[in-house]
Amino acid sequence: MPLLNKAGRFDARVRHADQWIGESGTGTVYVGLPLEIISEGECQGQHITGYLYINDNTLDRTIETLAECFGFDGDLEGLYQGTKSLEGYECSIVTEIEHYNGEARCKVQWINPLGGGNGITPVEQDKFKSLLSRMGVRAKAIAEGKLKDMGTRPQPVAPASQSAATGTDDLPF
């Protein structure tokens, strides 16, 4: 099956793997997820591998992702020994084209629960107020400088449903 070589958001199913735990060329241990695109369209059936790295800085996020997406119970030894499997689970992925050493290649950037990753999780009010007190003035200054450099502001396009609702066919005369 051809390899996925397109940036976007796709639904995917974890394929069979003889080994779930691997090691990169730089020595970083990871959980490898061989994925098949199940979204309808031109990419359906294509393959890509996602990598969730395991080190002191990434362990929490990696295990949280595995638990949230695949119900993983944290048994890394079971994955390593092959007594645990992620095969058959479905998830939503976001891919990007990465340029490295003169080559363009498709890379899984995010792994989310099936149907996930497209909503906005509300931030707690106190956390946002703290962020705003530290960065609000700076954010406005950055935007003001950029808008001044641009000269004109981009304008929103009315959503299709709004455009249709105000079309000339609906005029009462």
Which residues have a Cβ under 8 Å from the Cβ of 84 and sit 6 or more positions away?
20, 72, 73, 75, 78
Distance (Å, whole) CA 172 – CA 168? 9
Nearest to residue 10, comparing CAs of 111, 87, 102?
111
Q: Is the pLDDT of residue 137 over 50?
A: yes
Q: What is the CATH number of domain 8-113?
A: 2.40.50
Q: Is the pLDDT of residue 32 over 70?
A: yes
Instruction: Please tell me the pTM assigned to this model.
Output: 0.68
Residue 159: strand, helix, or coil? coil
Where do the structural domains in the chain lie, given as residue ranges? 8-113, 122-152
**Pair type for strands 29-37 and 8-14:** antiparallel
* Amino acid 135: pLDDT: 87
73 Ramachandran zone, left/alpha/beta (phi>0; psi -120 to 50): alpha
Q: pLDDT class for 2, splitting at 50, 70, 90? A: very high
Please name which of 103, 118, 128 lies closest in space to residue 10, comparing C-alpha atoms: 118
Tokens 């959503």: give the residue: 159
Residue 48 near residue 3 (C-beta atoms within 8 A)? yes
For 19-84, the DSSP string reads -SEEE-TTS-EEEEEEEEE-SSSTTTT-EEEEEEEESTTTHHHHHHHHHHHH---S-HHHHHHTSS
Tens of pLDDT, residue by residue over 40-86, are 999 999 999 999 999 999 999 999 999 999 999 999 999 999 999 99
Token readout for 157 is 């396009």
